[in-house]
Amino acid sequence: MHVAFPAPDVAQEGVPVQSYGSSIPLTKAMSDEVLLAWQMNSEQLPRAHGGPVRVVVPGYIGARSVKWVTAITVQPVPSQNYFQALDYRILPPDTDPDTAAPGEGISLSSPPLNCDILVPGDDAEMAAGPLTIRGWALAGDGRGICRVDVSLDDGSTWQQANLQPPISRWAWRQWSITVETHPGPLSVTARAWDDTGVTPRIPGITMESPRIRQQRLGPTSPPMCDRHSPCDRDRGIPAPL
């Protein structure tokens, strides 16, 4: 069973053009964390944030936290709205998004494990010596982040980063590590595990986590940073209230 939430806002990118809608499994809808919100900071929920009432679905992609909810329907199948049935989907790795058949792939719900490097940025020029690398990691549907590692040699060796205390089950968890750098190009790679210990393989790096972020520092005398990662920010960050 599924719980569908239609909304009145018309999305021009829908095919055909239609109002927005989405759904979540009934088991998720009945969990303690899912809310119908009509207030924020003890005041009426502003329209810009989805008022007069919106659904808040922690642990799922933001597209499932529908704003301006006009009805709630319990039904045997997921929403057939364009943005559930045809958009926000994970395609098989060998599929071309431009030629994929409508509805191909898996509808997004809980985001995949994400790990991101925030500092230093792409192509940043840094002085040689101690370098503090900072980032955050997020696991979907309330799973915790239990470890983040950082590599300076494209995954040949790893150093364990320090994890900041978790703010909540649903928030990004910050991490940091201070490393010693030398003049010249530098590659920085970060990987994370959630508390289920899931570690699928990513080609080119051994013992990978589900999400690895890499940055490479460029060819000048100070280290320059370059990051790359299969991490999908658009899919992983819930919509703000």
Q: What pLDDT sits at residue 109? A: 85
CA dihedral 139, 145, 151, 155 (to 10 degrees): -60
100 versus 138: the higher-pLDDT residue is: 138
Fold classified for 2-107: Sulfite Oxidase; Chain A, domain 2 (3.90.420)
How distant, in Å, are the alpha carbons of 9, 65, 148, 167, 216 from that of 109?
Answer: 21, 11, 24, 22, 32
52 preceded by cis ω (within 30°)? yes
Average pLDDT, integer, range 57-70: 92
Architecture of domain 114-236: Sandwich (2.60)
pLDDT higher than 50, residue 239:
no
16 preceded by cis ω (within 30°)? yes
Judge contact between 222 and 128, C-beta under 8 A.
yes
pLDDT higher than 60, residue 103:
yes
Q: Where are the domains of the chain?
A: 2-107, 114-236
Spacing of C-alpha 167 from chain mean position: 16
Q: Cα(86)–Cα(98) distance, rounded to whole angstroms?
A: 13
pLDDT higher than 90, residue 207:
no
The average confidence (pLDDT) of the chain is: 80
Q: What pLDDT sits at residue 198? A: 61
Q: What pLDDT sits at residue 49? A: 93
Average pLDDT, integer, range 104-127: 84
pLDDT category, 231, cuts 50, 70, 90? very low
How distant, in Å, are the alpha carbons of 63, 86, 219 from that of 151?
Answer: 33, 38, 18
Instruction: For 12-35, write each residue's pLDDT tens digit.
Output: 887 889 999 999 999 999 999 999
CB neighbour class for 118 (10 Å; exposed up to 12, middle 13-18, buried from 19)? middle
